[in-house]
Chains A and B, each alone.
Chain A
Amino acid sequence: ILNVEQSPQSLHVQEGDSTNFTCSFPSSNFYALHWYRWETAKSPEALFVMTLNGDEKKKGRISATLNTKEGYSYLYIKGSQPEDSATYLCASYSGGSNYKLTFGKGTLLTVNP
């Protein structure tokens, strides 16, 4: 994988459903994987920064896991609420002298009441 890829591109769920989506990233020279939440008409807000293989982070009903060997991360939302509706971005940092985060195109989640 050369770029950061997210799937699915969009997702509609009902209130109360649990859901998850995927971020795939280059596993070579991996340093960190970021997750951001981006609500319409607002700016992205950081959810997690993950660095270690097997890492798992949790914030309320949202959690994320990381597999650096195979180059993927999952974001889980338990009991989705309408206020969870947003685009969820992941970004990979491969270290070195550059400061560049490579962002995926995001997964647009819509939670219907």
Chain B
Amino acid sequence: NAGVTQTPKFQVLKTGQSMTLQCAQDMNHNSMYWYRQDPGMGLRLIYYSASEGTTDKGEVPNGYNVSRLNKREFSLRLESAAPSQTSVYFCASSPGRGLYEQYFGPGTRLTVT
């Protein structure tokens, strides 16, 4: 039982490059989330998926797209990376909406130069 896994752990991109961050959970959770964490800003929600087949914007969605591939997997895509997207990205999952605790992945540290 691996919980929430994320790949890659680290990535360096040049401005304008694209990449996809992968996230998978093996807890049969319905809801999945992508957050970014920046110094002094706390965790901010980028996108979330309430259930398989649905996705919605969070607090800071600009410059990102997501895909809920199936119940297990939720990917985050940067189409044209910008230095402002340098951050640590966390994926999380929960059985349902906000009454349930969230389980976080180990994070992806992304640097855009």
Report which A residues bind B (CB closer than 8 A).
31-32, 34, 42-46, 49, 51, 89, 91, 93-95, 98-101, 103-106
Contacts and interface: CB of A to CB of B under 8 A. Distances in A.
B84 to A, nearest CB: 19
B42 A99 contact: no
Contacts of B104: 43-45
A101 B35 CA distance: 11
Interface in B58-73: 58-59
Interface of chain B: mostly helix, strand, loop or mixed: loop
B99 A31 contact: yes
Nearest to A51: B99
Contact of A95 (B98, B102, B107): B98
B40 interface: yes
Given A31-B99, A46-B101, A46-B102, A99 B41 contact: no
Interface of B: 31, 33, 40-45, 48, 50, 56, 58-59, 90, 97-107
Contacts of B50: 99
5 contacts: A43-B90, A44-B104, A89-B42, A99-B33, A106-B42
A49 B98 CA distance: 9
A103 B104 CA distance: 14
B56 A98 contact: yes
